[in-house]
Structure 1
Amino acid sequence: MAGKQEQILSIDPQSDLKFVGPFNVISSTYLTLNNPTDNHVLFKIKTTAPKKYCVRPNSGIVDPKGTVHVQVCLQPFTFDPNEKNKHKFMVQTLLFNPQGGIDAETAWKEAKPENLMDTKLKCVFELPSYEVGSTKKTSTTEATPVSVNDTSRYVGGDSEMSTPLNKLSLKPGNQNNEGELLVKARKEMEQIMDEDASLRDENEALKEEVRLMRSKIETSRVPSNWSDMQAQQGFQLPTIVLAIIAGLVGIILGKFLL
């Protein structure tokens, strides 16, 4: 059986996905997927602990000569520097032809195992130096090396890891973390409401400007109409004068004739 293809993407970091505490709040790190080739490449991000992480985006496509930045968020948890960490991630990739008549989902379903490429990374947790305290000078948790024949069960890539941060599940006893997330969600909601109010104000201001412009247009039409009226009156005025003069002349002539 032929071996798997060598990873075509350049992935940074290459082996260790490092998370820096404190871990009683969400901790984030990033994966950079760079495509140095002239081919389109599909990717999926999978993990052995899908309930512990949120990945954005967890799947997609890297264009030729393109780069995709993936955010990996670790849920709050109780950190023990003496506990061995066995969490792992895998970046699975597949060459893709957008003009091939099939979509990405079909390409994954029909892909042969020998055409899949993958890169495995182990998770490393570190406390910042100011929080090490009396635990240990080096507080990096030991991570199980990722072997070539790794049989760990990786899950994710589509829906398992797409949970929004404000819906991450918390342990019942972790009330402080839940409160922090609720406060964060409330702040985000207030920000959205403020933006909505600002947009409404801008909309009202635009409507007022339109009303003012219409009023100016209507006002600018009045002088022209007034001039027309004056012109009409000016045209009718000599006719009235002539009628009066004719009447006076008739009276004078009438007197002389009598």
Structure 2
Amino acid sequence: MSKLDQVLILDPPSDLRFKGPFTDVVTANLKLKNPSDRRVCFKVKTTAPRRYCVRPNSGVIDPGAAVNISVMLQPFDYDPNEKSKHKFMVQTIFIPSNVSDNDTVWKDAKPEDLMDSKLRCVFELPSENEVNDVEVTRAAPVINSLKSEPTAAAAVGDDMEVKKLLEKCKRLQSDINKLSEENRQLKDEGMRMRKMQPRPDHMTSNSTNIVGRETSAAFLPSLLVVIAAIFIGFFFGKFIL
């Protein structure tokens, strides 16, 4: 009696392709679809069980349903001159309507009831352009971290400059307040001197001294205001605009 044809539709149908480099685990995907109106049991077998990890490696597929299988190739030293002899086989069987245990299905299976499909393993090395793309992708996080370090350092430096300028502005404001107080005291002293009505020969001298002191006191706050305005303008121009 001839064997039954495979009821499942395999994608890919004949080859499992694994693309290197093979220094890490490489995964190939296999899709099994059941187009029939009966439940099907399946098993995935390989000629090199120590080299592969298959998830899931067995199960049941309902009518019209599909299962995705991951075939993971373990890292190894790849020799391009060595041809791959690894193969996979997908073995299936219809589940009888009166059986619910999958293990019983396989134990009671007759050779003529089994269906199978074979797939060969193909190893491929990436092209030079693909290798360069992978290296750039792996290096990107490192490059981005290096770029962010100067930015962070610049931000810290800017914060220090802001603090220094604020401290200078506070000192200037304190000096302006002190000079304003001295100016007010000088004005009060001038008023008292005018009320005392000194002799004519002394009046001119005292008035000159008072006017000179008032002019000096008035000039100093104005100068400090200008300096403060320059610092504040520099601050806003550099760190806000």
Which residue pairs with 2:116 in the alignment?
118
- 1:105: which partner in 2? 103
Distance 1:121 1:101, change over 3 A: closer
Query: Where in structure 2 are the equivalents of 1:125-204 lying within 5 Å?
Result: 125-130=123-128
101 and 115 in structure 1: CA distance in 2 versus 1, 3 angstrom threshold = closer
Any gaps of 5 or more consecutive residues in structure 2? 132-241
CA distance in 2, matches of 1:120, 1:67: 18
Partner Cα distance (1:6, 1:114) in 2 = 10
Q: Which residue of 1 aligns with 2:11?
A: 12
Secondary structure in structure 2 of the residue aligned to 1:106: helix
**Residue 105 of structure 1: SS of its match in structure 2?**
helix
Runs of 4+ in 1 over 4 A off after TM superposition: none
Identify if the C-alpha distance between structure 1 residues 80 and 114 changes in structure 2 by more than 3 Å, giving closer, same or farther. same
Give the C-alpha shift of residue 24 in structure 1: 0.7
The answer to whether the 8 Å contact 2:36/2:63 transfers is yes
Q: TM-score, normalised by structure 2?
A: 0.53
Structure label with greater radius of gyration: 2
Give unpaired runs (5+ residues) of structure 1.
134-258
2:55 is the alignment partner of 1:32? no
Please give the alpha-carbon distance, in whole angstroms, between the structure 2 residues aligned to 1:121 and 1:9: 14
Instruction: Determine the C-alpha separation between the residues in 2 that align with 1:33 and 1:81.
Output: 30
Deviations 1:23-64 (A, max 9, x none): 010000111000111110000000000000000000001110
Identity score, percent: 56
**How much does 1:131 deviate?**
7.7
Give distance in 2, aligned partners of 1:70 and 1:91: 11
- Bigger relative contact order, structure 1 or 2 (CA pairs below 8 A, ≥6 apart): 1
Contact 2:99 2:105 in 1 (8 A): no
Q: Secondary structure at the match of 2:107?
A: helix
Q: How many residues align?
A: 131
Match of 2:188 in 1: none
1:42-53 aligned at under 5 Å gives the runs 42-53=41-52
Partner of 1:74: 73
SS of residue in 1 equivalent to 2:60? strand
In structure 1, what is the equivalent of residue 237 of structure 2? none
Give the secondary-structure state (helix, strand or coil) at the position aligned to 1:114: helix
Q: Distance between the aligned counterparts of 1:63 and 1:38, measured in 2? A: 8
What secondary structure, in the 3-state scheme, does the structure 1 residue paired with 2:121 have?
A: strand
Following superposition, the deviation at residue 103 of structure 1 comes to 0.7
When residues 80 and 103 of structure 1 are mapped into structure 2, their CA distance, relative to the original with a 3 A threshold, is: same
Alpha-carbon distance between aligned partners in 2 of 1:30 and 1:101, rounded to the nearest angstrom: 30
Q: Which one-letter code corresponds to 1:18 in the other structure?
A: R
Higher percent of residues as helix:
2
